[in-house]
Amino acid sequence: MSNNIDNNQETLIEFPCDFFIKVIGMMKENFTQSIIDEIQEIDQNFDASKVDIQPSQHGKYISLTCKVFVTSKNQLDLIYSKLSSHPDTKFVI
């Protein structure tokens, strides 16, 4: 019974759902495409047109807001893990 309570407290998200993930990274030529590729490795149906791209004021960083359809907490955790481990990623929120 304790495990059910712990699992319910792990997330307030109801799956499946659309989920917005913001990735902030270094402004590099292939950063956006490499983030899209990372997501598509996990979700082959991810639509690259669902990425909102915002450069920083001075052009050093880029912010990508990715609308991802996630089916489980495990899938969401895997996406966060992959995006966070990208060498040019600074933050994933």
pTM of the model: 0.85
The answer to whether residue 2 scores a pLDDT higher than 50 is: no
Q: Provide the 8-state DSSP code for 48.
A: G
Main-chain phi, psi angles of 29, to 5 degrees: -55, -45
CATH number for the region 13-92 comes to: 3.30.70.260
Count CB atoms within 10 A of the CB of residue 24.
17
Question: Residue ranges of the domains in the chain?
Answer: 13-92
Task: Determine the pLDDT at residue 10.
Answer: 67
Torsion, Cα of 38, 45, 24, 90 (10° steps): -30
What are 34-86's pLDDT values in tens digits? 999 999 999 999 999 999 999 999 999 999 999 999 999 999 999 999 999 99
